[in-house]
Amino acid sequence: MKTAKEIYSQLASPTEADRELVVKAYNFATKAHSEHTRYSGEPYMEHLTSVALDLAKMGMGPRTIAAGLLHDTIEDTPVTAEDIKNEFGDEILFLVEGVTKLSSVRYYGSDRHNESLRKLFVATSQDIRVLIIKLTDRLHNMQTLDHVPAEKQKRIATETLEIYVPVAYRLGMGRIRKELEDLAFPYVYPKEYKRVCDLLEAKAKKANILLEKERKYLQKKLVDSKLTNFNTAYRVKGLYSLYQKLKRRDWDIDNIYDLMAMRVVVSSVEECYRALGIIHDIWRPLPRRVKDYIAFPKPNGYKSIHTTVTTTHGNILEIQIRTEQMHHEAEYGVASHIIYKQQSLDEEPSSSWFNRLLPNLFRPFAKRSSGSEDLKVTKDIPPSEKIPRWIRQIGEMYTTEHSTGDEFISDMQEDFFANRIFVFTPIGDVVDLPLGATPIDFAYAIHSEVGDHIAGVKVNKKLVQLDTTLQNGDIVEIDTKKTAKPTHKWLDIAKTSVARRKIKSYLNTSTK
Ligand code: MN
């Protein structure tokens, strides 16, 4: 199990207060979970320290790391929200509660709801750090999925592919996305997994030897051309993304050009283009395979130059050229922007799609009042509401229509998200409603029998009035009684036309 020291040692330049906070959360979690083991039989802290260490390695700050250590306390132990607030303050409580709330977002196997589930997931998290903790939590749960009872494995793995992977993709977190995909793949599609493995096996054995040979050759050529500060690496394509591509290419593995890829990481954008020149000079590029994602980044912020070449040894190889910063962003996405705070950030939050898509994403919690005793703790996020440059560029790309036909774009265009809220039933089903909707709208969205007999309403377990405005992420419970029935006043309260129509029809039939 990792020690508190191993975790805080990952912080770039931790203050005394930073270290103390991590140690305090570590000890608090150890005590809270002392009775508690994982399916593997290991102490529960194994999970919490893995999550915290991953967060620290990603470059997250001390509060996020502390919240990572505490993320299961409220849900799984007698510790209350009040306890966390008293010990760690509002901000950490907010993060822990955010992660706890996300646990109720469940995949129920209906494709129709996937997109709204993903949106709900993002909306409910409110602060980007909550999503990052949750993704890291899921990563460790997937890494240890073989210890989980078999009947649960498939549901968890499917949920990972349907909800967590697209969210990681959208946030540009390439490393976590790839790992989640490859961990979930064998559980969700065992037959297909086997087929991909068999196809790859023959190729992969030779591939590593070949790739190492090509890498050395390229390295020498780059040095000869006076490029000195760079590094090269290679990889064989992830199994799940290979599967996705094989399905589109009639399972012909020879038709997949990025099966093997080499990455060249250099110091500047200018060197990216120089490296491209050198590569095209030594190896023949395939036509129409050069993609300049530096000039035109992908909608999720991804930047690199891609080219596919035939090497001297006759291998087809995709080469990805990028700067160190681009590499870091490709691996950690949004998380890297929380760290790269010294980078130029756009001063003016634009009204880009990104704000609409993730309305609360860049509303740092730090803006709310925080206790002054906290001030020595390094801020996890930039202090003011700033939008990273790449996000602004995506906004520009979208408006100037440089975009390709990526399905992603159409997703962003709808402002659906800005005008809808997502609320839960007590068992975690999702109901989406227009902004301003009330429990009456909710009840009729469930079923007209429920709507016609509302006797009382609880929101987040508290009794409320019928005209309460529902908020994103609320858990709504309707009590019904046979004798309860709609009144004329309900017509003023209901916001959806469905509810109003049904109320009117009830009132008409009952007065006749
Ligand atoms: Mn957990």
Residue pair 309/256 in contact (Cβ under 8 Å)? The answer is: no
Q: Do 219 and 167 lie in a common domain?
A: no
- How far, in Å, is the centroid of ligand 1 from the Cα of 435? 31
**pLDDT of 344 strictly over 50:** no
Q: Say what the pLDDT of residue 396 is.
A: 36
Reported as a single tens digit per residue, the pLDDT across 350-406 is 223 333 333 333 333 333 333 333 345 655 543 323 334 433 333 333 333 333 333
Which of 5-9, 12-16, 102-106 is predicted least confidently? 102-106
Higher pLDDT, 332 or 242: 242
Q: Do 263 and 145 lie in a common domain?
A: no
Q: Say what the pLDDT of residue 245 is.
A: 92
**pLDDT of 299 strictly over 80:** no
Q: Say what the pLDDT of residue 509 is.
A: 86
Is residue 511 very low, low, confident or very high in pLDDT (cuts 50, 70, 90)? Answer: low
Reported as a single tens digit per residue, the pLDDT across 17-43 is 999 999 999 999 999 999 999 998 999
Q: Do 181 and 195 lie in a common domain?
A: no
Q: Do 139 and 103 lie in a common domain?
A: yes
- How far, in Å, is the centroid of ligand 1 from the Cα of 102? 11
Any residues with CB less than 8 A from the CB of 284 and at least 6 apart, and which?
Answer: 309, 310
Write out the residue range of the structural domain in which residue 435 sits: 418-510
Percent of the residues in the chain that have a pLDDT greater than 70, as a whole number: 77
**pLDDT (mean) for 420-425:** 73
Q: Do 164 and 195 lie in a common domain?
A: no
Q: Say what the pLDDT of residue 480 is.
A: 94
Q: Say what the pLDDT of residue 338 is.
A: 61
Q: Do 105 and 194 lie in a common domain?
A: no
Question: Does some domain include residue 380?
Answer: no
- How far, in Å, is the centroid of ligand 1 from the Cα of 137? 5
Please state the pTM of the whole predicted model: 0.67
Question: Does some domain include residue 136?
Answer: yes
Q: Say what the pLDDT of residue 376 is.
A: 54
Which of 22-36, 111-125, 289-303 ranks highest by mean pLDDT?
22-36
- How far, in Å, is the centroid of ligand 1 from the Cα of 48? 7
Question: Does some domain include residue 337?
Answer: no
**pLDDT (mean) for 316-339:** 84
Q: Do 58 and 135 lie in a common domain?
A: yes
- How far, in Å, is the centroid of ligand 1 from the Cα of 433? 30
Residue pair 213/260 in contact (Cβ under 8 Å)? The answer is: no
Question: Does some domain include residue 393?
Answer: no
The Cβ of residue 119 has, within 10 Å, a number of other Cβ atoms equal to 20
Q: Do 319 and 431 lie in a common domain?
A: no
CA 237 to each of CA 178, 208, 312: distance values in angstroms, whole numbers, following the listed order:
10, 12, 21
- How far, in Å, is the centroid of ligand 1 from the Cα of 71? 6
**pLDDT of 457 strictly over 90:** yes
Question: Does some domain include residue 252?
Answer: yes
Residue pair 331/175 in contact (Cβ under 8 Å)? The answer is: yes
Q: Say what the pLDDT of residue 392 is.
A: 37
Question: Does some domain include residue 202?
Answer: yes
Reported as a single tens digit per residue, the pLDDT across 382-392 is 332 333 443 33
| 3-class SS letters over 291-314 | EECCCCCCCCCCCCEEEEEECCCC
Q: Say what the pLDDT of residue 379 is.
A: 53
435 alpha carbon, distance to own chain's centre: 24
Any residues with CB less than 8 A from the CB of 511 and at least 6 apart, and which?
Answer: none
- How far, in Å, is the centroid of ligand 1 from the Cα of 146? 16
CATH code where residue 463 lies = 3.10.20.30
Q: Do 237 and 109 lie in a common domain?
A: no
Which of 204-213, 335-344, 382-391, 470-479 is predicted least confidently? 382-391
- How far, in Å, is the centroid of ligand 1 from the Cα of 72? 5
Residues 481, 339: Cα–Cα separation, whole Å: 54
Residue at which a domain ends, from 185, 220, 249 = 185
- How far, in Å, is the centroid of ligand 1 from the Cα of 183? 17
- How far, in Å, is the centroid of ligand 1 from the Cα of 74? 11
- Residues forming a β-bridge with 422: 432
Q: Do 20 and 164 lie in a common domain?
A: yes
Question: Does some domain include residue 435?
Answer: yes
- Residues forming a β-bridge with 235: 261
Catalytically active residues, by annotation: 75-76
- Residues forming a β-bridge with 306: 291, 320
**pLDDT of 508 strictly over 70:** yes
Percent of the residues in the chain that have a pLDDT greater than 90, as a whole number: 49
Residue 338 per-residue DSSP state: H
Q: Say what the pLDDT of residue 421 is.
A: 73
Q: Do 176 and 199 lie in a common domain?
A: no
**How is residue 459 written in tokens?**
């929101």
Which of 189-193, 263-267, 345-349, 431-435 is predicted least confidently? 345-349
Residue at which a domain ends, from 135, 158, 185 = 185
**pLDDT of 141 strictly over 50:** yes
Closest to 423 measured CA to CA, from 503, 500, 496, 502: 496
Residue at which a domain ends, from 296, 331, 366 = 331
Which of 39-48, 262-271, 330-339 is predicted least confidently? 330-339
Question: Does some domain include residue 241?
Answer: yes
Q: Do 153 and 195 lie in a common domain?
A: no
Higher pLDDT, 64 or 105: 64
Mean pLDDT of the chain: 80
Any residues with CB less than 8 A from the CB of 63 and at least 6 apart, and which?
Answer: 21, 91, 92, 95, 377, 380
CATH code where residue 319 lies = 3.30.460.10
Q: Say what the pLDDT of residue 373 is.
A: 35
How many domains would you assign to the chain? 3
- How far, in Å, is the centroid of ligand 1 from the Cα of 160? 14
- How far, in Å, is the centroid of ligand 1 from the Cα of 37? 12
CATH code where residue 114 lies = 1.10.3210.10
